[in-house]
Structure 1
Amino acid sequence: MASKILCIIDGATDEKFRISKVLKPMLKGYFKTTPWGFETESNTCIINLLGIEDVPKNSRAWFEAKGSGINLSDNDLVMRTSMVNVEDGVISSLSNRSDEINIPGYYSLGSYKGIMVLKDRAGELNDIISYPVHMHMGERLPENLGISQPLKGDDVYLIPWSPSVKPKITELNINGYAVTGIPLVKGIASAIGMKHSERKDFTGDTDTNLSAKIDMTMEMADKVDFVLLHINGTDEAGHRTSEKEKTEFRDKVIKMVNDKLMSSEHQVVVTSDHGT
């Protein structure tokens, strides 16, 4: 049967990396990925691309926590965290040491990522001003940020951002499946009534098993009405400010998409959510 496939290549709307430059000639158009009044980031853009009009604000970390299997109560306040290296007061790079942190309420998501759960503090949401550190690489770390330095003796900082509370979101009335490796998309998929993949080799980075993701997408497209294929490696390479890595991975993705998805009988839309 012919199904609909939405392939989102995360973090590839930048002028240098636009996927339209390397896709097969086909009907092209533009999506407004960020609704009016929202900041441009993956959570908002992906939900919007799925056609959900009531995009919930202050929800990203909640979805990531749920997609990681973390138990939450309705009144919890949840924050994403990023670990960074700081040299001479400047944020120099991301630190892949999140597994070393031992703080109550902290859950490592691997690499530089983590989740902080503040029990029964959802009412404090509006009191928090956060600092999405990936948007400030190479800048000086603000002195009044109120962050912790959990690994004593090292210039490694744990920075919380994206304060979130339990969101309200409309379920999609569709038999759908998400092929993804990241907790954010898993959490979104579950919240809108879609099942999702659970494979360790779907890493959410440039070392993901890309061929297996494409194959699973094709397999599920024969079983369900809609498949969301989310590919995150371009975004992670962008966060590492590695232009070469991002370009090479993007081209690898596009080749597989062109060779397998675009030649199938299914209705395929290939797009990106934002730039990184």
Structure 2
Amino acid sequence: MSHILLIIDGMTDPDFRLTDYPAMDSMQQLAPVDYSEGGRPETLTCTLRILGLRQVPPHIRPIVEAYGAGLRVDPDDLWLRASWYHIDEQGQPDRQESPDDFTFPKVTRRDIEPHYLGQGHWLFRLREGHSLCERLTLPSPFVTGEGDLLPEGDSVIRDYFSRLTTPRHRLIVWDKGVSSPLPLLREPSIIISAEMVLLGLGKMLGWETVTHPALTGDTDTDLELLGRLTLEAADRTGRVIVHVNGADQAGHRRDEVGKRAFLRRVDSELLPLLLRSPHRLTLTSDHGCDPATGCHLPGPQPLLRSE
């Protein structure tokens, strides 16, 4: 018998109720856990805490995603993580949304190399830019407020991203990273996900990773296929980590109807298949995502397990 750990990214919000989802509600409810621990609620950090890592290295998410994308990570490089946002009438980001067309500026004084991750997210490699990491200050698109939403601390980087705008969109840099070792976790696992950050985590830990083109990381993902892949993996290992991202993506788009519909699909299509299996199932969420604001939410997350 295997242990299936199902992480539903961005599942909760102020209107989330377990009673709206019969399969979830049928599971044993343990004490809720706040995986953000008072910090910024972010997928990689919260997932590592779900897996039992207490001290999460800083500035690591872009590195993990670079591994997930199959990119070479050199010790002297700086990596920046950026996402496209729609900008409202007040000049503030109100939801994640990519423009139909944009052009990267030409750079002469610094080598900035873009890599697309999908769903409007980008990585940028700055070769031999390691020394910039500490002095570079980044905005947070998850908390609206004053400011021009541009990096501070390097004029070339600031100028580069100031040009990545359209009348209603802006590519906002919200994380930075340099090569850093990741502490090994004790229990080898198989990770099933469509997200670069989870696939990269598996690669860095030396774990098997499973993905498929039909696993999209959004609300159109194939949940029946995900269930089959999960059970196949559970038959050959002691723990399977399954990451489902559709609710978080709908929340970022401020699509409350889409988020609720997706969670109902998870509850009716994926969970019954897993609950009928002989394997032990634990379900939780890394953090919340509020479709009213498009922002991640900290706070206690449900922790459920099969009877």
TM-score by length of 1: 0.89
Question: Residue 72 of structure 1 aligns to a residue in which SS?
Answer: coil
Equivalences for 1:142-157 in 2 at 5 Å? 142-143=147-148, 145-146=150-151, 148-150=161-163, 154-157=167-170
Looking at structure 2, the residues matched to 272 and 50 of structure 1 have their Cα atoms a distance apart, in angstroms, of 12
- Cα displacement string for residues 127-163 of structure 1 (whole angstroms, at most 9, x for unaligned residues): 1222231x13xx4662363452546764322111111
Q: CA deviation at 1:114?
A: 0.6
Seen in structure 2, the aligned counterparts of structure 1 residues 274 and 144 have a Cα distance that, compared at 3 Å, is: closer
Q: Any conservation in 2 of the 1:84–1:91 contact (CA below 8 Å)?
A: yes
Q: Any conservation in 2 of the 1:106–1:115 contact (CA below 8 Å)?
A: yes
Q: Aligned pair 1:111/2:119, yes or no?
A: yes
Q: 1:267 aligns with which of 262, 276, 280?
A: 280
The unaligned stretches of length 5 or more in structure 1 are: none
As a proportion of its length, which structure holds more strand?
2
The equivalent of 2:15 in structure 1 is 16
Q: CA deviation at 1:204?
A: 0.7
Work out the number of aligned pairs and report it: 272
The unaligned stretches of length 5 or more in structure 2 are: 106-111, 152-157, 290-307
Question: Residue 255 of structure 1 aligns to a residue in which SS?
Answer: helix
Among the aligned pairs, what percent are the same residue?
28
Looking at structure 2, the residues matched to 114 and 101 of structure 1 have their Cα atoms a distance apart, in angstroms, of 14
- Cα displacement string for residues 171-204 of structure 1 (whole angstroms, at most 9, x for unaligned residues): 2343421110000111111112211123221111
The equivalent of 1:225 in structure 2 is 238
Q: Aligned pair 1:207/2:220, yes or no?
A: yes
Q: CA deviation at 1:124?
A: 2.2
The equivalent of 2:92 in structure 1 is 90
The equivalent of 2:137 in structure 1 is 129
Q: CA deviation at 1:258?
A: 3.1
For structure 1, which segment, 260-269 or 191-200, has the greater mean C-alpha deviation from structure 2 after superposition?
191-200
Question: Residue 105 of structure 1 aligns to a residue in which SS?
Answer: strand
The equivalent of 1:74 in structure 2 is 75
Question: Residue 53 of structure 1 aligns to a residue in which SS?
Answer: coil
Question: Residue 15 of structure 1 aligns to a residue in which SS?
Answer: coil
- Cα displacement string for residues 213-252 of structure 1 (whole angstroms, at most 9, x for unaligned residues): 1110011100111100000000000101111100110111
Give the letter for the 1:126 counterpart.
Answer: E
- Cα displacement string for residues 17-64 of structure 1 (whole angstroms, at most 9, x for unaligned residues): 255752142321135343646422111110111112332221111111
